Amino acid sequence: MIGVCIKYFHENYGGMLQAFATIKMLESREMEYELIRYKKNLTLRKKIKSIPRLLNTVLLKDKYEAFLKKKGMMKHPEFAENNAIRMKAFDEFKKNKFIKLSTEYVGYKELCKGAKKYSAVISGSDQLWSPAGLPTNFYNLMFVPDEVRKISYASSFGVSQIPWYQTKRTANYLKRLDYISMRENRGSQIVKELIGKEVPVILDPVFNFDKEQWKELIPVKNEISEEYIFAYFLGNTVEYRKKVEAAAKKLGYKIVVLRHLDQYIPEDETFGDIALYDVGPERFINLLRGAAYVCTDSFHGSCFSIINNKKFIVFNRYAAGSKNSKNSRIDTLCNNLGLQERRYNSNKTLEEQLNENIDYELVTDKIRKLKQDTDKYLDEAFADIK
């Protein structure tokens, strides 16, 4: 039995779909698994001890975005109602797709005890090694006994630099892992810097399946009959929305949008021609599949655009040089697949960039080679596991 540490419950399209892809990878290998459920048992002492964590800049930014979203729902009841519709769609997907669950381990001692039952524990992708989550000692598998195999699958720090005060603890958990693979080139470099070990950069779990295989996992459904641009923005940059509006006007296409995803954004109220809320991960995939063009600042929005051979442009969600930047995900994706030209370039019009040719035969060939590396790594990591 394999224990799986992934954030399958977080209401984010890319995160939930990569978690889904992870368990489907295990099922394709006919491996028995269960998703590890852990609930903290926070005593007053532990709460006081965790106060320094609140000063982490990455965590502070995430908390601030959540605060803005809650504030927006309080101020705009209609948005709160629409957000509840979206959350219900996510809940349906979770309920139907993530059914192999462990008993809930309450408290860290119970978690450590429960981990002894597994022959291996795997931690997934989706920035689970972010500095913000280090003190929990969960996704870094510090709770797993020495004798149980510990595997990282396309892991991601989510940042280009580990804070100086976390380098020692980060090195400590990396040294305990039996198999390490990273999703980003920079992540692999960080591992080398901290523990002197060369580790492979492999594909995000969603690339474990190609376009046709994803059709089997999530059947195709035509959501909108007319031609449209699918605008999937998690960030709050108003300029990007204006660029999409200008391009849509010149191209003569509608804009389909998902508003207020990570936070409430006032400009989203008037952005797009068709704004949808009743959208779970399955409908999200079909909205992207049906689009003539995709404009996004999302890593997984870019991944699924590539898998579905879409004409797309990816915008930077974070300012270049920002200490909280998570752009390294996009850097690796575009650089390793030869898609640097899909990064938004303000020196060109957006419609011009969207219509530039993408050699998907070449891209598919690069994915195929990286898939071979990924499969080789997983074959070795899972060898003799029952």
List the domain boundaries for the chain.
2-208+369-381, 220-363
Give the pLDDT confidence score for residue 134 in this predicted structure: 83
Report whether pLDDT(292) > 80.
yes
Give the pLDDT confidence score for residue 328 in this predicted structure: 76
Beta-bridged to residue 104, according to DSSP, are: 37
How far, CA to CA in Å, does 80 sit from each of 7, 70, 204, 260, 262?
Answer: 24, 9, 32, 10, 13
Report whether pLDDT(327) > 70.
no
Query: pLDDT tier at 188 (50, 70, 90 boundaries)?
Result: very high
Look at residues 120, 137, 119 and name the one whose alpha carbon lies nearest to residue 128.
137
Q: What is the DSSP letter of 309?
A: T
Give the integer Cα–Cα distance in Å for 44 and 48.
Answer: 6
Query: pLDDT tier at 135 (50, 70, 90 boundaries)?
Result: confident
> How many residues would you count in the chain?
386
CATH 3.40.50 fits 2-208+369-381, yes or no: yes
Label residues 47-64 b or e (16+ Cβ within 10 Å = b): eeeeeeeeebebbebbee
Domains 2-208+369-381 and 220-363 fall in the same CATH topology: yes
Mean pLDDT of 214-230: 96
Residues 6+ apart with CB under 8 A from 295: 229, 230, 231, 232, 233, 240, 243, 244, 247, 312, 313, 315, 350, 354
Beta-bridged to residue 56, according to DSSP, are: none
Pick the CATH number of 220-363 from 3.10.560.10, 3.90.1150.10, 3.40.50.2300, 3.40.50.2000: 3.40.50.2000
Q: What is the pLDDT of residues 35-78, one digit of tens each?
A: 999 998 766 565 555 555 555 666 677 777 777 778 777 877 88
Please tell me whether residue 11 adopts helix, strand or coil conformation. coil
Report whether pLDDT(306) > 90.
yes
- The verdict on pTM exceeding 0.75 is yes
Choose between 320 and 278: higher pLDDT.
278
